[in-house]
Amino acid sequence: MREIGTAFVAGVMAMWISLPAQAAGGGTAPPAHQWSYSGLFGTFDRAQLRRGFEVYKGVCVACHGLRLVAYRNLQDIGFSENEVKAIAAEIEVPAEPNDDGEIEDRPGLPSDRFKSPFPNENAARAANNGALPPDLSLIVKARAGGADYIYALMTGYKDAPANLKVPEGMNYNEYFAGKMIAMVAPLADDGIEYSDGTKATVKQQAEDVTAFLAWAAEPELEERKRMGVKVILFLLLLTGLLYVVKRRIWANVH
C-alpha cells in the first residue's frame, strides 16, 4: 500500500513538473489581462457575456462546439426565457425515432446542449485540412494561462519574422505552441455587429468571447466565491466566540 501511495505521489509530481514545459512549447507567455471576475469579489459582467455569446454564435460556432452547455444556461447570463427559446429553435437536432424507426430533425429546445458544427471527428478533420477544432466548453480551464492565453491567442496573429518560413496551411501566432497554428485569424474589426452598439474591434471581440468561455467553463464561479466569503466570515465569528469562551473559562485561573 505504501509503495502504491509513493508511486501515485511521484506520478502526480512528475505531471505537475512537466506542465510548464508542455505549456511553453515555444509559444510566448501571454501577458496578464484584467478580468471583471478576477479576485475574491469579482463577478461576471452580464453585458460582456451576452456580447461574448454573440461572438461565439457569429464566429466560433462555425468550427467549435460547446457540448457541455445547454441553451437554457444562457438565462444565467441575462437572456430571457423567450430569447433562449428563440435561440434554441434556430438549430435542428435529431428527434426520437418515429413509428417507422426513422429519425427526423426537430427545432432545438432550451434543454438541448449546444449543437456541434460537425457530426463526428472525421467530418471535423475533413473540413479543416486534417486539424481537429477543439470543443470550447472547458477550453479556458484546459489551457495553461487560462483566459489570458485564449485572449492572447486570438489577438496574437501577425506577420511571421522574415527569417521564418510559414508552411502552407499554417498561420503565425506568437502565443501558440510552436508559433504555427492551422486556425486562421478568427476575428476581424467589425466582423460582427453587437446588438448593444459596442464597436466590434478585434480586441473587444476577443475579450468578450474569452469572458463568455470563462463563464462556460466555470458557471458556478460567482456562487463559489459567495460561499467562500460566507465561510470566511463564519470562521472569523467562530474564532471570536471561541476567544471569548476561553477568556471566560480561564478568567479565575492564576
Share the mean pLDDT of the chain.
88
The number of helices, as runs of H, and strands, as runs of E, in the chain is 8, 4
Give residue 209's pLDDT band: very low, low, confident or very high (50, 70, 90). Answer: very high
According to the model, what pLDDT value does residue 251 have?
78
CA distance 181 to 203: 19
Per-residue pLDDT at 117 exceeds 90: yes
Regarding predicted confidence, which is higher, 101 or 11? 101
Asked whether 210 and 137 are in contact (CB, 8 A), the reply is no
Residue 254: per-residue pLDDT: 61
What CATH topology corresponds to 35-69+113-219? Cytochrome Bc1 Complex; Chain D, domain 2 (1.10.760)
3-state secondary structure of 39: coil
Rounded CA gap, 123 and 126, in Å? 5
Dist CA 216 CA 150 (whole Å): 14
pLDDT digits (tens, 9 = 90+) for 118-138: 999 999 999 998 889 999 999
| CA 187/CA 208 separation, integer angstroms | 12
* Antiparallel, parallel or unpaired: β 171-172 and 105-107: unpaired
CA dist 239 and 19 (Å) reads: 39
**Looking at residues 225-248, what average pLDDT do you find?**
92
Low-confidence winner among 4-8, 51-55, 223-227 (lowest mean pLDDT): 4-8
**Furthest CA-CA distance within the chain:** 90
Q: Give burial (CB, 10 Å; 0-12/13-18/19+) of 251.
A: exposed
pLDDT in tens, 171-181: 999 999 999 99
56, 134, 231 from 183: Cα distances, Å: 15, 11, 44
Which residue would you say has higher pLDDT here, 52 or 97? 52
pLDDT surpasses 90 at 44: yes
39: left (phi over 0), alpha (psi -120 to 50) or beta: left
SS3 of 63-98: the string is CCCCCCCEHHHHHHHCCCHHHHHHHHHCCEEECCCC
- On the question of pLDDT at 214 being above 70, the answer is yes
